[in-house]
Amino acid sequence: MARRALVATAASIVVLAPLAWFWQASLMPGTYSIMDGHGGHQHHGRGVHTLVADPARAADVRVTLVARKERFRLPSGRAFDGYTVNGTSPGPTVRAVQGQLVEVTLVNESVPDGATVHWHGIDVPNAADGVAGVTQDAVPPGGSFTYRFVAEQAGTYWYHSHQVSHEQVQKGLLGAVVIEPGTPRGGVVALVHRYGAVRTVNGYAGDVVQPSAAGERARVRVINTDNGPMTSWVTGAPFTLAAIDGTEVREPAPVTGQGVLVTSGGRADIEVVVPEAGARIELGGDTAIVLSPPGSVAGKRSPAPARMVDPLAYGAPAAVAPIDPGRVNREHEYSIGRRPGFLDGRPGLWWTVNGRMFPDVPDFRVAEGDVVRFTVSNHSGEVHPMHLHGHHALVTSRDGVPATGSPWWTDSLNVASGETYEIVFVADNPGLWMDHCHNLPHAAQGLMAHVSYEGVTTPFLIGGPAANSPE
């Protein structure tokens, strides 16, 4: 009897001791630097706060964004408990002309956890990237922070908090950004966001009528701010996919009976020549922008098409200076998996990067001037919208099939389970940059890593007195 008990105890120690070790090893320190564990602290080098737009240059566009936690009315009339920017959600659209210096002051009036503003898809200087604990401290209630960047890329972008982002973004701390070239392209913003279970466009549920003129070429700037991919398509007219993630497509051909997959965080500018009877830009099926000439009535939506426009082969190819994929001198692998384990003491099935679990994920080192190739593959059983901060990457292949269409520049790439993408970018924007899944709960569950430039350091800490928590 005693012997048996002893054997049983010994057996459970054999099983439990390693488990206890894994559990203990997974506990996250309350405060750490993203530079820990990557060759230790680097105290020398350029601090992220020095990577700024020309401080001597005056701003061309000045905006103040006031963030609040409150119960508010959506444009649809529904009440919602969340966050507003200047009293509404979505917040105001920030507009600039290409080349202008944009200066935005975030004032946190009452967001208890602190807040930041990240400029999703805009390759800002690192100090303006808005990542709590990496490029700044979260702005506490009563505090403010000023972001400065030159709007170098025309296109459709958005902004959102990057502090406790899986909660603050979902609850409304976000808005659109439109940067126009010298000759404006115009168009309407279609910022898609779910408040609770209700999908909205610009805060309205259902059909949103946009008065238009028959025969006019109209651009709808679709922005998917939700955690999952969305299909957009057009009822009543052929359309072109005019821009992807802010970059114009070269010679986009009109399509009918096809959809556009807009991944989480991604943007798609859709253009139609408005027919007399109007056209519907369908946004996931339950909401739409209805381009409606006088006298037309919003027709019924067409069913979601099974075929999708494939950006890999859409539009006309071109050589892309300065990227010559033959000049790649730095290669990284970003392989996404999933396995059972502990994340900060919690047992579960957690995401892995190259087989490792957060925070033991690789730090993707680059040097300024590198031409970098990432091979991004997904073996995890779920789709991941992968978002690299501070850079646009050129997609060169998917599952071994080379890109043949218009140069496909992306900042938010839908990587389905089983897929492998090769992307290439020029390391021309020094800093410490997040490279994470934009299904934000996944990021909070550890699906994130950093691209860090040699010689760049950060004084900011995850945790710490500012309670920085970027995911």
Using CB under 6 A, list all residues that contact ligand C2O.
118, 120, 160, 162, 265, 387, 389, 434, 436, 438
Taking alpha carbons only, the member of 260, 268, 265 closest to residue 221 is 268
CB of 120 or CB of 267, closer to ligand C2O: 120
- List the interface residues with Cu ion, window 447-466 (CB under 5 A): 447
Name the burial class of residue 380, with classes exposed (0-12), middle (13-18) and buried (19+) by CB atoms within 10 angstroms of its CB. buried
Query: Nearest distance from residue 355's CB to Cu ion, in Å?
Result: 16
Closer residue to ligand C2O (CB): 291 or 456: 456
| Residue 79 region by backbone torsions, left for phi larger than 0, else alpha for psi between -120 and 50, else beta | beta
Cis preceding linkage at 402, omega within 30: no
Q: Please tell me whether residue 442 binds Cu ion under the rule CB under 5 A.
A: yes
Contact in structure between 268 and 121 (CB atoms under 8 Å): no
The yes or no reply on residue 439 touching Cu ion (CB under 5 A) is yes
**Contacted by 437, from ligand C2O, Cu ion, none: CB < 5 to 8 Å by type:** Cu ion
Q: Dihedrals φ, ψ of 20, to 5°?
A: -60, -40
- Measured CA to CA, the distance from residue 323 to residue 351 in angstroms comes to 31
Q: Which residue has the tokens 């990557």?
A: 38
Size of the residue set binding Cu ion (CB under 5 A): 5
Q: Considering the complex, what minimum distance in angstroms separates the CB of residue 459 from ligand C2O?
A: 20
Q: How far is the CB of 26 from ligand C2O (least distance, A)?
A: 23
C-alpha triplet 86, 89, 93: angle, nearest 5° = 70
Where in 329-388 is the site for Cu ion (CB under 5 A)? 384
- Here's the x/- map for Cu ion, 129-158, by CB under 5 A: it reads as ------------------------------
Quote the tokens at residue 332. 């990284």
* 437 touches Cu ion (CB under 5 A): yes
CB of residue 435 vs ligand C2O: minimum separation in angstroms? 9
Residues in the chain: 471
How far separated are the first and last CA of the chain, in Å rounded? 52
Question: In terms of CB distance, is 125 or 470 closer to Cu ion?
Answer: 470
Looking at beta carbons only, is 233 or 358 nearer to ligand C2O?
Answer: 358
For tokens 């579960």, what's the residue?
Answer: 348
451 vs 456, which CB is nearer to ligand C2O? 451
Q: What letter represents residue 357's amino acid?
A: M
Q: What is the DSSP string of 233-253?
A: EEESS-BEEEEETTEEPSSPP
Residue 192 Cβ, how far from ligand C2O at the closest point, in Å? 14
State the binding partner of 439 from Cu ion, ligand C2O, none, CB within 5 to 8 A by kind: Cu ion
Residue with tokens 């709590």: 132
Task: Please identify, using beta-carbon distances, which residue of 147 and 239 lies nearer to ligand C2O.
Answer: 147
Minimum CB separation from ligand C2O for residue 132, in Å? 11
Instruction: Note the residues at the interface with Cu ion (CB under 5 A).
Output: 384, 437, 439, 442, 447
